[in-house]
């Protein structure tokens, strides 16, 4: 059964058992997110339980459509609030935290394929050396993070960062070109 | 190559399940399955954050143990809530339940009496 079907069953019956099945699918991911932000295993486990309670309480109040994105937002905000309470100041949002590239796949389908390809080639060439190298190795040669780290001498974190920033910059460059064409 | 170039900006539509994720964390994946997970991580901030967090947990056995404990606690809490809701409903509308019970008892009684009458005749 898909997440969407479980959610529908929950909204139809208001039985929390459906939520139990749905939430269980996300326990591992939630534990990981809480660990990333809070760094302490015990604290992360408590935090996951608090997120469960929050989800069970909040989900009935309005109709959620994209559960995965919604629960990620709930989890991240909950962790950031905990960090703020602990340190007395808002946690700095890293690039990764702000990564919001979950655009609908295929949203650019209206672009002509040839035009798109030409722009992609140009945008890729315009990327910084490290980002270009990592994007090519990862997306075009389908190499793993570890392989890329060994080949380039970057750390794993640097590899991930170059890939993510490279993709984001590619997207920005493509959007810029699309805007220029529209004008 | 061209197709891959086009795909850089398209988000991965592969859903990575928990088993694949555990295999990735344990270093049991290679080749295409390894790339699938990392491709999804690059496209999906939720998965990427989760992997980074899970990698910081020392023992992978602990990860599974924590998940099992959290799931057990979740189901226990849901069952408790259900019971509490049922009790509250009973407290709020006891007469409705008494009336239903009374109707059932009357039906059973009527059945027994009618049956007895039929047997004696």
- The ipTM, to two decimals, is 0.70
- For chain A, say whether B51 makes contact (Cβ under 8 Å): yes
A128 has a chain B CB within 8 A of its CB: no
Per-window interface: B 68-107 vs A, CB < 8 A: 69-71, 73-75, 77-78, 81-82
Contact A33 B50 (CB under 8 A): yes
For B76-94, b/e burial (b = at least 16 CB within 10 A) is: ebbeeeeeeeeeeeeeeee
User: Quick check: helix, strand or coil at residue A20?
Assistant: helix
Distance (Å, rounded) from C-alpha A56 to C-alpha A61?
10
Interface list for A 24-83 with B (CB within 8 A): 24-25, 27-37, 39, 41, 44-45, 48-49, 52-53, 56, 68-69, 72, 76
**pLDDT per residue as tens digits for the range A7-46:** 999 999 888 889 999 999 999 999 999 999 999 999 999 9
Of B97, B5, B9, which is closest to residue A117 (Cα–Cα)? B5
pLDDT at A97 over 50: no
pLDDT confidence of residue A109: 47
Tokens of B10: 């398209």
- DSSP label at A142? -
Q: What number is the average pLDDT over the span A72-83?
A: 91
- Predicted pLDDT of residue B92: 79
CB of B54 within 8 A of CB of A35? yes
What's the pLDDT at A25? 93
In the predicted structure, residue A104 carries a pLDDT above the cut 50: no
Q: Which of A87-101, A129-143, B4-18, B61-75 has the lowest mean pLDDT?
A: A87-101
What is the predicted pLDDT for the residue at A44?
Answer: 94
């Amino acid at each position: 059964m898909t997440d969407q079907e479980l959610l529908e069953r929950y909204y139809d019956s208001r039985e929390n058992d459906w939520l139990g099945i749905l939430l269980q699918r996300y326990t591992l991911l939630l534990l990981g997110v809480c660990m990333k932000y809070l760094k302490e295993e015990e604290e992360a486990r408590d935090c996951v339980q608090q997120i469960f309670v929050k989800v069970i309480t909040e989900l009935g109040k309005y109709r959620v459509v994209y559960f995965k994105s919604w629960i990620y937002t709930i989890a991240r905000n909950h962790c950031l609030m905990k960090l703020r309470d602990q340190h007395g100041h808002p946690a700095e949002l890293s690039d990764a935290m702000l990564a919001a590239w979950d655009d609908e796949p295929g949203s650019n389908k209206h672009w002509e394929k040839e035009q798109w390809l030409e722009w992609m080639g140009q945008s890729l060439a315009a990327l910084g050396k490290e980002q270009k190298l990592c994007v090519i190795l990862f997306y075009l040669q389908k190499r793993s993070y570890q392989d890329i780290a060994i080949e380039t001498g970057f750390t794993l974190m640097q590899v991930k960062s170059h890939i993510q920033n490279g993709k984001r910059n590619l997207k920005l460059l493509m959007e810029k070109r699309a805007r220029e064409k529209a004008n | 190559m061209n197709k891959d170039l086009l795909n850089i900006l398209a988000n991965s539509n592969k859903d990575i399940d928990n088993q694949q994720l555990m295999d990735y964390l344990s270093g049991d994946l290679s080749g295409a399955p390894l790339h699938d997970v990392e491709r999804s991580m690059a496209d999906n901030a939720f998965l990427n954050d989760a992997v980074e967090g899970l990698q910081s947990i020392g023992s992978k056995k602990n990860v599974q143990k924590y998940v099992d404990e959290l799931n057990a606690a979740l189901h226990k809490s849901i069952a408790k809530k259900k019971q509490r809701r049922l009790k509250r409903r009973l407290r709020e509308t006891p007469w409705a339940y008494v009336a239903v019970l009374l109707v059932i008892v009357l039906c059973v009684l009527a059945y027994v009496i009618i049956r007895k009458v039929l047997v004696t005749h």
